[in-house]
Structure 1
Amino acid sequence: MPSISMADSRFRVSLSWVLVVLCILGFFLGSKAFAAGKEEEGNHKFLGNDIPEDYNEVRPQGANDIDDGSISSAGDGEGERFELCGTDLSTFLAPPYGNISNMICTPIWSSFVLRYLQREDNVMTIILSAVYSTGWVGIGFSNNGLMVGSSCMVGWFNRKGHPRIKQYYLEGFHASQVIPDKGELQLVEHVPPVVALHGAMIYLAFQVKFPVPLSHQPIILAFASRYPNLYRLAKHDDKTAIWFDFSQASVVNIGSTYKRHHGVLGIIGWGLILPMGAIVARYFKHKDPLWYYLHAGIQFVGFIIGLVAVLLGIQLYHRINADIPAHKGIGIFVLVLSILQILAFFLRPKKDSKIRKYWNWYHHWFGRMVLFFGSLNVVLGIHFGEAGNEWKIGYGFLVGIILVAVIVLEALSCMRRSEKPILPPSSFQMNPI
């Protein structure tokens, strides 16, 4: 019987380590999900095939025939997209849009091409063009690079071929919070916005007066293949946010590198390594003193990675004014708790100290709060950063692996405690025969 018990104990220890390895594999599989999502986004087709059957009958004059009802790009390469800047706008756009000279023209995303001219009185003429078959196309001006709170100009041709262009204000993510005929863009009154089709391209043209000359400005680009319903926009098929320098016509993905690194490091630090360190401390104390050194080392690495994620978040805030109070507040709170946990390592009293139990309470509960609020902040960051479903699925998969590991390890721990022999108290003595 002792040999069977010893073998069973070894099996449980081996299973415990296997579960820890599964947590690590869960992270790498989650990373692949992120990468797959990113690759899918990069290969995204511009417009889908969701087109009414009678669309070819009501298409406005001037549109090219399209065999499958969709167009994937404006050309075969960057060179052909730049050739679009040589299009004569006067043939299909009325004054003042068709006869403005010296407009700056540059491709900015997918098949989107932006033309603009900024006058000394801060009035800017903007002409946005993109490949089009159905649905709507829009450009938004944001204060912080986020969709919520931005004001957008959206244009489309309805099923009867009538042009439509409106300003929208994005109060939230839900369709009912995308409000037509509302926004912060001050359109020039005597120059109404227009939308036109020329070949396979749709053109949105409007004039806006800004309080100050625009230089670096976050703008949002989006499109959908479904028509608006009573001026309510269908959900976009794809979107992007870019940092556009109107003074130099340069395009930079708006904090995309910082956002991606901030998110990945936050998930690694708060969502993977710190929970692993907590798992080691709770379920491997029978491996004394190995568990202690593993716990301290893993938590210190997790803290460093989480600290780098916070520093990148600060850089992101300064670059694009990404002020998200809830995410920022919880991040600062988690960072402070983590620093207190690091200080607790240096202030750890001896086992026989009278205050050791109070230190244990402090260390355990502060650690639990770090794990809870760290995970909560990862979820908030994915939501407010509009990271996409691939991030949600990847992080959800990682959390699921960790929860399964904790449940199994907790069960094994309970079984191990129940099998320990109950020793008699030290004061108990056998009566002599």
Structure 2
Amino acid sequence: MLYHHCSWKAKSSPVAPINIPTQPRNPASIPAPKTSGVTEVVEMKKASSLHTLFLFFLTSFAFLVKSQSDSCSSKLSVSHLIPFNTSSLRCFSAWSSQDFILRYENAGSNVWSYVLSAPDTGSYISIGFSGDGSMVGSSAMAGWITSSGPGIVKRYYLGGTSSKRCPPDQGSLDPVQGKSVITSQGSRLYLAFQLNSAQPPQRLIYAVGPQNNLPSSDGYLPRHKTMASGSINLSGAGGGESGENEDGGGATGDVVEGGVSGFDLKKQHAILVMLGWGVLMPIGMMMARYFKQFDPFWFYSHISIQGIGFLLGVAGIILGFKLGDDEGEGDIDTHKNLGIFILVFGCLQVMAFLARPGKDAKVRRYWNWYHYWVGRAAIACAVGNIFYGLDLAGEDRSWSIGYGIFLGVWGFICLVLEVRSWMDR
């Protein structure tokens, strides 16, 4: 058998490359997916949500404003909390600067209804009834909300301008039993009461207490922050009418604002005494104590500051003597006696300055000792009497806080200078 060995060799021929033409892509030419309908739906949902949120805040704000305000054009919002009919009350703006709204009517035979609305400042509101327009000698109704929640309404006899001269549960007013109430809604107080009277006095006294200062537990009112007087014409104020009359049925609106007699004089007294005895005197003492190395600057600064402080203090004490006994609360005699004691000490200091011995005199050391201790005793008594006087006057706490801050800064500076003087020895 013959075998033929054949060798096959495959021949490969080169394949020509195929050139496929390509063009650069333009991103802008690439068609976007068709989502316009979805986008519009999302945008509409966003707009609807924002619109709903805006309406919610607008409604909430309107409700908040409505709950915190009162006007004669709106119905009495707390009528369900008042123990008598309020559907036919007449209404007028009694004291516009303090946003006092007064509603009233003749509710029947010898019975008069009143509802006084005012902002809640954390104190009391009151309305007085005066035969001649004067505060002293009139009677008033006052109410406040206690810190624990319940409201208190009391009648007062206004026998003077101090708290002790306005005793509670006295006066000529005859409130109807069980018909007096004070309530709070939003940020307003509503003082409601009925009086037994053929016709109450038509001259009214409005007052608001100092902010965040409630009456004491025995019912005595702190001195009012501000007051006003006005009058109304009660003729034709009978019941039976529906709705509220914004013109007040004869309200004259002749409201006169202001404090009680002597209010400005009291403030002038406090400012002069505080600036003279309570501020300049301690600063002048500090100049003599810690700045003697700057001679003679310390001496002239000392006598100048003390001299001005003494004159201001004397002027303040003179004004204090002009204030009547009813211009303070508590033991006014103690305040006056302390003032006289301080004035005597101040005069002794002036006399000692005029009669001071020479530096080389043997008695100079005793004079220095006297001048040192009498001056400091006068300043200490003056500081204590300033705080006592502010408390008697029933002034806002900011007076005492502000003066206390000054004393704290002054004391800290004196402490630093005292330590420094001891270290330099």
Considering only aligned residues, what root-mean-square deviation do their CA atoms show, in Å?
A: 5.4
C-alpha contact 2:284 2:303 (8 A) present in aligned 1? yes
Rg larger for: 2
Corresponding residue for residue 392 of structure 1: 400
SS at match of 1:288: coil
What TM-score do you get using the length of structure 2 for normalisation?
Answer: 0.55
The answer on 1:98 being equivalent to 2:116 is no
Partner of 1:172: none
Taking the aligned partners of 1:227 and 1:343, their CA distance within structure 2 comes to: 47
Deviation readout 1:32-76 (Å, 9 max, x if unpaired): xxxxxxxxxxxxxxx999xxxxx97972366889xxxxxxx9859
Q: Is the 8 A contact 2:266 2:323 kept in 1?
A: yes
Q: What's the CA shift for 1:311?
A: 1.9
SS at structure 2 position matched to 1:98: strand
Residues 1:303 and 2:310 aligned together = yes
Structure 2 counterpart of 1:163: none
| Residues 1:202 and 2:191 are matched in the alignment | yes
* 1:141-168 Cα distance to aligned partner (Å, 9 max, x none): 455533245312xxxxxxxxxxxxxx2x
1:116 aligns with 2:129: yes
1:360 aligned onto 2:368 = yes
Moved more, 131-140 or 289-298: 131-140
Q: Percent identity?
A: 25
Distance between the aligned counterparts of 2:164 and 2:106, measured in 1? 35
Deviations 1:54-101 (A, max 9, x none): x97972366889xxxxxxx985973997984xx55213xx543439xx
Deviation at 1:291, TM superposition (A): 1.0
| Residue 339 (structure 1) aligns with | 347
CA distance 1:243–1:363, shift in 2 (3 Å): farther
Which amino acid is 1:309 matched to? G
Question: Is the alpha carbon distance of 1:407 and 1:278 closer, same or farther for their aligned partners in structure 2, counting shifts above 3 Å?
Answer: same
Check whether the contact 1:140–1:219 (CA below 8 A) recurs between aligned residues.
Answer: no
Indicate the structure whose relative CO is greater, using CA pairs within 8 Å and at least 6 residues apart.
1
Is this contact kept in 1: 2:210–2:225, CA < 8 A? no
Gaps of 5+ in 1: 1-46, 50-54, 66-72, 100-106, 153-166, 168-184, 209-217, 418-433
Counterpart contact for 2:290–2:417, Cα < 8 Å: yes
Structure 1 Cα separation of the partners of residues 258 and 395 of structure 2: 18
Structure 1: distance between partners of 2:127 and 2:78: 27
* Equivalent residue number for residue 89 of structure 1: 105
2-structure distance, mates of 1:364, 1:406: 16
Q: Is the 8 A contact 1:330 1:373 kept in 2?
A: yes
SS of structure 2 residue aligned to 1:387: coil
Could you tell me how far 1:307 is from its partner in structure 2?
A: 1.4
CA distance in 2, matches of 1:143, 1:126: 9
Q: Is the 1:226–1:234 Cα contact (8 Å) retained in structure 2?
A: no
Q: How many residues end up aligned between the 2 structures? A: 303
Do residues 264 (structure 1) and 282 (structure 2) align? no
CA deviation after TM superposition for structure 1 residue 135, in Å: 2.3
Q: Extract unaligned runs of 5+ from structure 2.
A: 1-66, 70-76, 198-204, 232-253
* Partner SS for 2:359: coil
Cα separation, partners in 2 of 1:393 and 1:48, compared to 1, 3 Å: farther
TM-score, normalised relative to structure 1: 0.54
1:60 aligned partner, one-letter code: I
Equivalences for residues 162-181 of structure 1 within 5 A: 167=169
Whether the 8 Å CA contact 1:125–1:207 is kept in 2: the answer is no
Q: What amino acid sits opposite 1:288 in the alignment?
A: D
Cα deviation for residue 283 of structure 1 reads 0.7
